[in-house]
Structure 1
Amino acid sequence: MIKTVIFDMDGVIVDTEPVHRYAYYKQFSELDIEVSEEMYTSFTGFSTRNTFQTLKGHFPTITLEVEDLIQRKRTIFNDAFDTKEDLYLLEGVEDLIKDLYASGIQLILASSASKVTIERVFSRFNLHQYFTDLVSGEDFPQSKPNPAIFLHAASLSKAPKENCIVIEDSTNGVLAAKGADIFCVGYNSPHSKMQDLSASDLIINDFKELNAEKISQLGA
């Protein structure tokens, strides 16, 4: 029986991708580099650090240190996030979160986003009350598909790993969950383009397909 649900954030709980995209491409312009759509899509699920480490490998003209690149991107993102009014939780996810919480199922966040971004999202939508732990990808040397973030999240569960599930919307996130040997629900998010969820144990198109009762029986 499932006792703990580990949520990704971007594309699962909230769609901050347009804000990230704006921040990254403004910075790409400042750096005078051209990043293709295919390359940008491949970064889905990456932490900002891993994204810039990869970009520095591709573009020798980027001479700034990774830390400086991260800080600049964070500044652009935070300014845009704070002024963006049309930012909402994804349809159906708040009802699911409340249902799981009311049913006594533990909720943990495991997101590639920075702690600052997670805090901004959780404060804006008053989500702290539902989650026991918030895990940020910035604390891990390697991003998803490396399973480290999910292995750590599962270690925070009050139940064994086999009583946990992950809800993910990206190729890298699904691969990370399966690499951690955790049952994975792939959410076919309308906001996450060109993602391969085929390695998931279950794929959903709408959060209405899930509730606490159904989730508790997954992986049985």
Structure 2
Amino acid sequence: MIQGVLFDMDGLMFDTERIGYEGWKYAGKKLGIHMKDELIASFRGTGEKEKRRHFKEAFGSEELYDEAFTLRTVYAKEWIDKNGLPVKKGLVELLEYLKKENIPAALATSTNRKKAMGYLDMANVTEYFSASVCGDEVKAAKPAGDIFIAAAEALGVPTEKCLVLEDSLNGLKAAKNAGCKAIVIPDLSPAPEKEEGLWDVKVSNLKEVIEIIKNL
């Protein structure tokens, strides 16, 4: 029986990975560097240190990283300020179901706390989360399992009784490293092959998670 649900945020709750992708492309054009899709994909679901490492591997130096990241961040902020925060299908329905069934939810995102809490407030879903752990609060980022272990502890639930909801490869690896069950809801990146053992169930949107939890 599932006793807690751990939510990723970008690309899972909110359709922000697409905005981030365009932001990285914008930054590349401004700086005269080619931000390959594979490089941007490697950033998904992981932390600042890992992004810097991937950037250095791609360009031989991380000197431009801060400038590129700033351009990407400004692009995303301006897009959301103008258009609003895009919420993924089924998010509110799933959160309402968990509340009704007294199954606690925790946020476990690689995004820093200030930005993450701002997004939750923007979407009016803060009240649904009993706990939250953000990327600037754990020693090792995804794909390490630290953030999901910390989120489970914050709920007071063993990791093996927790269900992780993820869209990224790094996030799914982190879920398995933490000993959690995982549902993948693919976003920009396709789901890993089932044979890789990184997810238990694949669905197309968050609303479908409700039936999975009922069956579990």
For 1:192 and 1:24, locate their aligned partners in 2 and report how far apart those are by CA, in whole Å.
14
Q: Which moved more, 1:68-77 or 1:125-134?
A: 68-77
Number of residues of Structure 1 aligned to a counterpart in Structure 2: 213
Q: Residues 126 and 164 (structure 1 numbering): CA distance in 2 closer, same or farther, change over 3 Å? A: same
* 1:192 to 2:191 alignment: no
Q: Residues 50 and 124 (structure 1 numbering): CA distance in 2 closer, same or farther, change over 3 Å? A: same
3-state DSSP class of the match of 1:153?
helix
For 2:19 and 2:207, locate their aligned partners in 1 and report how far apart those are by CA, in whole Å.
26
The code of the aligned residue for 2:199 comes to: S
Q: What does residue range 44-193 of structure 1 map to in structure 2 within 5 Å?
A: 44-60=44-60, 62-64=62-64, 70-85=69-84, 87-187=85-185, 189=186, 191-193=187-189
Q: Residues 16 and 123 (structure 1 numbering): CA distance in 2 closer, same or farther, change over 3 Å? A: same
3-state DSSP class of the match of 2:213?
helix
For 1:215 and 1:10, locate their aligned partners in 2 and report how far apart those are by CA, in whole Å.
22
For 1:197 and 1:4, locate their aligned partners in 2 and report how far apart those are by CA, in whole Å.
26
For 1:69 and 1:35, locate their aligned partners in 2 and report how far apart those are by CA, in whole Å.
10
**Aligned position for 1:39:** 39
For 2:209 and 2:129, locate their aligned partners in 1 and report how far apart those are by CA, in whole Å.
18
Residues 110, 141 of structure 2: 8 Å contact kept: yes
Identical-pair percentage = 28
TM-score (norm 2): 0.86
Question: Once the 2 structures are TM-superposed, how far is the Cα of residue 35 of structure 1 from its aligned partner?
Answer: 2.0
Residues 2, 217 of structure 1: 8 Å contact kept: no
CA RMSD of aligned residues (A): 2.4
Question: Once the 2 structures are TM-superposed, how far is the Cα of residue 174 of structure 1 from its aligned partner?
Answer: 1.0
For 1:75 and 1:88, locate their aligned partners in 2 and report how far apart those are by CA, in whole Å.
17
Question: Once the 2 structures are TM-superposed, how far is the Cα of residue 160 of structure 1 from its aligned partner?
Answer: 2.2
The code of the aligned residue for 2:163 comes to: I
Residues 8, 109 of structure 2: 8 Å contact kept: yes
3-state DSSP class of the match of 1:99?
helix
Question: Once the 2 structures are TM-superposed, how far is the Cα of residue 120 of structure 1 from its aligned partner?
Answer: 2.7
Task: Kindly indicate which of the two structures has a greater share of residues assigned to helix.
Answer: 2
For 1:208 and 1:35, locate their aligned partners in 2 and report how far apart those are by CA, in whole Å.
34
- Structure 1's unaligned 5+ residue stretches are none
Q: Residues 185 and 194 (structure 1 numbering): CA distance in 2 closer, same or farther, change over 3 Å? A: closer
3-state DSSP class of the match of 2:155?
coil
TM-score (norm 1): 0.84
